[in-house]
Structures are given as C-alpha cells and as structure tokens.
Amino acid sequence: KVQININGFPVTVKPGTTILEAARKANVTIPTLCYHKDLCVAGNCRVCVVEVAGQKRLSAACATPCEDGMDILTNSLKVRNSRKHIIELLLSEHNADCTKCYKNGKCELQSLASEYKIMTQDFIELLPWKNYTIDMISPSIIKDDSKCIRCQRCVRTCAELQGVNALTVAYKGDHMKISTFFEKPMNDVVCTNCGQCVNRCPTGALVEKNYVEEVWDAISDPKKHVVVQTAPAVRVGLGEDLGFEPGSRVTGKMVAALKRLGFDSVLDTDFTADLTIMEEGTELLTRLKKALVDNDKEVKLPMATSCSPGWIKYIEHMYPEYLPNLSTCKSPQQMFGALAKTYYAKARNLDPDKIVSVSIMPCTAKKFEAARSEMHDSGYRDVDYVLTTRELSIMIKQAGIDFMQLEDLEFDRLMGESTGASVIFGVTGGVMEAALRTAYELVTGRPVPFENLNITPVRGMEGVREASVKIEKPLKEWKFLDGVELRCAIAHGLINAKTVMDAVKAGKANFHFLEVMACPGGCLGGGGQPIPTNSEIREKRAKAIYAEDSGKPIRKSHENPEVQKIYKDFLGEPLGEVSHHLLHTTYTP
C-alpha cells in the first residue's frame, strides 16, 4: 500500500498507481489531453502537471507513479498558471476557428480553454497551420492538420490497438507533424478506415466524413423514399450522446427518433445479420464437407468472417494471400442495401431509383465499404449514405427531439424483424456465437449444448480467444461431422488479428472458423461510437447487448420469420442463385 496526500487529504493506493489514477480515485479531476485509458502513457502534452512537495519541477500526473508520503497539490497557483500557459501555447499553434469546426462543442482543447478562461493571448500566434492541407479524400475520415495538437493519441491508437501504423510522427521540433507514408492521403495508405483514431482525437484534427446534410436533403425530397437501417451496436451506444449512462439500451427510442426525423421506413441491419448467419453458416458447412468428405485441397480453412470492413481492408493490405479464406458473404449492411433496392422495392411497389438507402453504423469503415465498387449488385449503389452513431445524435439534436422522453417504438416490417443472435453481432464473439447457435442446430436437429443458448466460451474481452464445440449425433446428411470438434478463434482489434493471422501463416493454428472484428470489443467499440469509448464503457455496452439478446423472444437466426419469408418469396435457398448475385462477393488484391 502507498500512502499519499492529495491537496491535504490522505489517499491510499496500490503500488504502481499514477498520480492521475490516484486523483481520480479520490474524485479529484486533473485535466488531460494526450492521456487515454486505452493507450500507453505518452506524457507529452503536460496539461496534467501537478506540484509534488520537495520537487522543483512540476510533474506530469499521468506519467508519475505515487510514492509513499508524497504530498501532491493539483490546484496550487503554480499548477494553475502552468496549465494555463500550456493551454495558451497549444492554442497559439492551433487553428482555433472553433465556430466553423466539426468538433465545436465536443473538443477537449476547447473545453479546457473554456474551463481555464483563456481570454488573452500571451504567446505569439504561430499560424503554422496556414500552410497545411486538409485531407478529405477518404470516404470515411477527414484529417485536418491545422487542428492537430500533436498529442499522438492517434499514432498510439493506430500502433497499439490496431498494429496498422498508418499514422506516424514525421519531422522534428517545430515542424513535427502527424503524417502518413510519404505524406500521402489517408485513402492511399494502409489506413483501414476503422476510425479508432477519430474516436480518440481530442480536437477536430481527425473527424468522420459526415453526410448529415445529404441525408436531410434526401428526407426533405418528396420524390425520394428514404429507408434507414440501424446496426446492432448503435442501440447500446447512441444514448450516451443523448443524456443516458453508458450501457443503456435505447432501441425503441432510437426507432421513435428515426421516425420523427422523417425516414419513410425504419428497418434493422439485424435482419440481414440473421440472413448472414444463414448464408455464412451454410458456406462454412459446405467448406467443411468439401474438406472432410471430398478431400478437396483447394478449399480454404479457416473460413473467416467478412462483415467488418476494417478487417477486410487490413487483410487486403497485410495478408492478401488469405483473401480466399474470407467468407464470400457481404456484410449485413451491404446485404441490406442490395435487398432494399430489389426485394423491398418490389414488395413495396417502389421504383428502386427513388429509394435512398441510409445506414446508421457504429463504424467509419462502413462509409468506405458502401463506396466500394463491389457494392452495386442491386443495379444501383446499394447503400447511399452511412452515418455514424454520432452523426445520428447530431440529427436528433438538430431536430429538437427530446430523446429521453420518447416513447419506445418498433421497427417497421419487412426487413425489420430480428433475433437475439443478430443483436450480439455488435460484440466481439457475437457472430461466432450466432453462427454456432444455427449451424449446430441445422446439423444435429438440437440446440447448442450450452445453458440458455449462451455460448460463454466465445464471450469475453480477451484479445484472442479460442473455443471448440464437439458435434455429436448429427443428422444423417451431416454424418461426416460426427465427433468433429469445430475449432473456432476470435480476435478483436487488428493488433490481435495480426497475432492470429501470423499463427495461421506459420501453420500453428488449425481453426475451422475465425471471427475478426477490426475494433476493440467489436462494433460496440467502433470508431463511430460516442466519445469517449474506453475499456470500461465497452464492457457496459457489451452487457447491454447480451441483455438485449436475452430479452428477445427468438434467439436463433434461422427462426426469424422474416428470414424464412425472404427465402420462400425471393431468395430460394442459402447460397442459391439470387443469394449468390446479391449477397455475396469476393475481394481481389
């Protein structure tokens, strides 16, 4: 135990605790900028300085471990003046045109400037940002160096959580900047568009490319029929931007808000998540049959999930030889888009040309995915606009909707029905769990042998997880699977995907099925989710997702009545000709 005093009050902490952590434990706020719970300590912004008795220099609270007997002042005159100067220095080289900034009202530097009442300018404004360009080429992310305070949260995010290193530090001293390989646009480097950097940038230097105005235009055009789909993870994140505590489920209010915004039909990505399970489960069983019965050496195992667009971009850049291992299923977002302008248009007697398909996603990479050339199988661009959870909250606020007071409403029908299995797509391990619930039952005629359908071995927040399910007494058609241990692996966060893929590459992994989600925690921790997102908040959102699953009357994808209907009325069968055309694709390096 370590005993310290913070502002004269005794605090006891474990050895190794930093001053910042100790202060938080004692409910004392110390401002931070470069610090982020998910990342290693950098200690480069100095905003968190505190005074330690007996030491001449101030210490960065985030980078200083507590020592027994330390007397710490977090609010002395010296500390306050230093912090003020640090904020002034940051502002002197920051494009502080706040009213025209996308992060206006959500910027951590702006909040600090407001808190410390920076009214004068003691330092010469450097204006280095006058020469900077704004990179707007990516469909997902805008990088504006004039707003950058060089805290390097983005660099650490890209390296530590994602192992991608698309963003690095270039040059030194005054010229130091956050850049890419040869200073190319984000769109032309290995960036996966995951947006984890956007989620952690304290200012407006990295933001999502927003399409709010385009969606308002579509809604207000009487000639357009605007369909919206909402991803599984949005319903456990959206509330945080609208007054709810992390971990609140706001599904019904979200539907009500979307209807008030004026969307013509409010539907659910979860419906196509269920559909994905039908297609992907069948594909896995087909591959297993080819490998185990036909002894087909060409068949690629492990089969990897293909619904996370950041993961797809990562494998395209880093492991292109494994692209054939990806399931050929499009993501639920893109399946939905292709069906909105075909199946839905036909059923509703609508001209697909007049349909505007919008999706609400926890993810910035989904914007890139929707813009891919592969995603036009309906004869149109399948998904027209992708908004993040944050952009939806902006629209709700702009519309003056009192979100907290909204009554819960249900999704519209035809592509609005979903099961518990589809909701858990939003948490790491969820696609695997949903697939196992269905595949096991299709093969054996019995539910998966786990209490309450909860396949706990695939759950959790460990970066890489392995599990296996033994298939016993299968139905006649699947006799070849009798006694087979279906081996599964799960990774979330691309740094963990790298661990798994390196093992696969080295021949050290013999999985049948691999689930990878690009973002830590899965989509609930997506780059488009409310800020802040960190380990604690991800845990709360995960709990909410599992609660949503438990509360659903149907919890297996193959039992979704709308899924059964679409096969009967339109698709025929999983992996059939129509499915093949609309719901599947392949990626080439």
The residues assigned a catalytic role are 280, 283, 307, 327, 366, 369, 374, 523
Q: How far is CA 111 from CA 48, 187, 384, in A?
A: 14, 31, 35
What torsion, rounded to 10 degrees, do the Cα atoms 498, 502, 504, 508 define?
-130
- Contact call for residue 265 and ligand HC0 (CB under 6 A): no
- Among the listed ranges 139-147, 211-219, 231-239, 439-447, the one in contact with ligand HC0 (CB under 6 A) is 231-239
Stretch that binds ligand HC0, among 71-79, 341-349, 358-366, 402-410 (CB under 6 A): 358-366
Instruction: Name which of 307 and 448 has its Cβ closer to ligand HC0.
Output: 307
When binding is defined by CB under 6 A, the residue of 192, 331, 393, 419 that contacts ligand HC0 is 331
Sign of CA dihedral 445, 449, 451, 457: negative
Nearest to 160 by CA among 493, 480, 508, 567: 493
Map residues 443-462 to x or -, x wherever contact with ligand HC0 holds by CB under 6 A: --------------------
269 lies in the site for ligand HC0, by CB under 6 A: yes
User: Which among 215-223, 438-446, 467-475, 521-529 is the span making contact with ligand HC0, rule CB under 6 A?
Assistant: 521-529
CA 244 to chain CA centroid, Å, is 19
What's the rounded Cα separation, in Å, for the pair 301 and 580? 20
* 585 lines the binding site for ligand HC0 (CB under 6 A): no
Question: Which CB, 31 or 232, lies closer to ligand HC0?
Answer: 232
- The residue type of 33 is L
Q: Is 333 in the site for ligand HC0 (CB under 6 A)?
A: yes
Asked whether the beta carbons of 139 and 383 are under 8 A apart, the reply is no
Nearer to ligand HC0, 145 or 549 (CB): 549
Residue number with CB closer to ligand HC0 (202 or 526): 526
Q: In angstroms, what is the minimal distance from the CB of 388 to ligand HC0?
A: 9
Least Å from the CB of residue 138 to ligand HC0 = 17
Among 332, 457, 521, 574, binds ligand HC0 (CB under 6 A): 332
Task: Please identify, among the stretches 48-56, 293-301, 522-530, 564-572, the one whose residues bind ligand HC0 according to the rule CB under 6 A.
Answer: 522-530
Closest to ligand HC0 by CB, 32 vs 269, is 269
Q: Is the alpha carbon torsion for 554, 337, 584, 485 positive or negative?
A: negative
Q: Minimal distance in Å, beta carbon 310 to ligand HC0?
A: 9
Total site size for ligand HC0, rule CB under 6 A? 21
Confirm or reject binding of residue 574 to ligand HC0 (CB under 6 A): no
How far apart (Å, rounded) are the C-alpha atoms in residues 26 and 34? 21
The least distance separating ligand HC0 from the CB of residue 194, rounded to whole angstroms, comes to 10
Judged by CB under 6 A, does residue 542 bind ligand HC0?
A: no
Out of 20, 189, 258, 307, the residue judged to bind ligand HC0 by CB under 6 A: 307
439 scored as a contact of ligand HC0 (CB under 6 A): no
Token pair, residue 172, equals: 């030194």
Select from 355, 431, 442, 453 the one that contacts ligand HC0 (CB under 6 A): 431
Dist. CA 263–CA 239, nearest whole Å:
19
Residue 231 or 436 having the CB closest to ligand HC0:
231
By beta-carbon proximity to ligand HC0, the closer residue of 231 and 500 is 231
How far apart are alpha carbons 464 and 443 in whole angstroms? 27
CA–CA gap between residue 194 and residue 533 (Å, rounded): 14
Q: Shortest Cβ distance from residue 258 to ligand HC0 (Å)?
A: 15
Distance of alpha carbon 236 from alpha carbon 538, whole angstroms: 10
Q: Is 523 in the site for ligand HC0 (CB under 6 A)?
A: yes
Tokens 């190794």 label which residue? 16
Question: Which residue blocks in 399-526 are alpha helix, DSSP H?
Answer: 420-423, 430-444, 494-505
- Asked if residue 304 binds ligand HC0 (CB under 6 A), the reply is no
Residue 206, strand partner residues: 143
Question: Residue for token digits 């390989």?
Answer: 181
Q: Is residue 530 close enough to count as binding ligand HC0 by CB under 6 A?
A: no
- The nearer residue to ligand HC0, 430 or 457, going by C-beta atoms, is 430
Q: At its nearest, how many Å lie between ligand HC0 and the CB of residue 261?
A: 19
Nearer to ligand HC0, 356 or 524 (CB): 524
How is residue 465 annotated by DSSP?
A: E
Amino acid, single-letter form, for residue 373 = S
What whole-number distance in Å separates Cα of residue 458 and Cα of residue 429?
Answer: 5
Q: Which is nearer to ligand HC0, 4 or 517 (CB)?
A: 517
- Told to check if 310 binds ligand HC0 by CB under 6 A, we report no
Please identify, among the stretches 331-339, 450-458, 500-508, 573-581, the one whose residues bind ligand HC0 according to the rule CB under 6 A: 331-339
Non-local CB neighbours of 459 within 8 Å, separated by 6+ positions:
427, 429, 433, 546
Of 166, 231, 358, 484, the residue at the interface with ligand HC0 (CB under 6 A) is 231
Please give the structure tokens belonging to residue 588.
């080439």
- Identify which range of 76-84, 93-101, 174-182, 229-237 contacts ligand HC0 by CB under 6 A: 229-237
Q: Is 364 among the residues that bind ligand HC0 (CB under 6 A)?
A: no
Say whether residue 247 binds ligand HC0 (CB under 6 A).
no
- CA 326 vs. chain centroid, Å, equals 20
CB of 426 to ligand HC0, least distance (A): 4
Nearer to ligand HC0, 204 or 526 (CB): 526
Which parts of 408-427 interact with ligand HC0 (CB under 6 A)?
Answer: 425-426
Do 193 and 184 touch, CB atoms closer than 8 A? no
Asked if 204 contacts 142 with a C-beta cutoff of 8 angstroms, the reply is no
Phi, psi of 414, deg, nearest 5: 70, 95
Task: For the chain, state the CA radius of gyration.
Answer: 25
Q: Is 505 helix (H, G, I), strand (E, B) or coil?
A: helix
- Which positions ≥6 away from 288 have C-beta within 8 Å? 301, 481, 484, 512
Sign of CA dihedral 262, 266, 269, 270: positive
What is the C-alpha to C-alpha distance for residues 79 and 102, in angstroms, rounded to an integer? 31
Q: Does 493 bind ligand HC0 (CB under 6 A)?
A: no
Report the alpha-carbon distance of residue 415 to residue 423 in Å, rounded.
14
Query: What residues line the site for ligand HC0 (CB under 6 A)?
Result: 231-233, 269, 273, 307-308, 331-333, 361-363, 366, 425-426, 431, 517, 522-523, 526
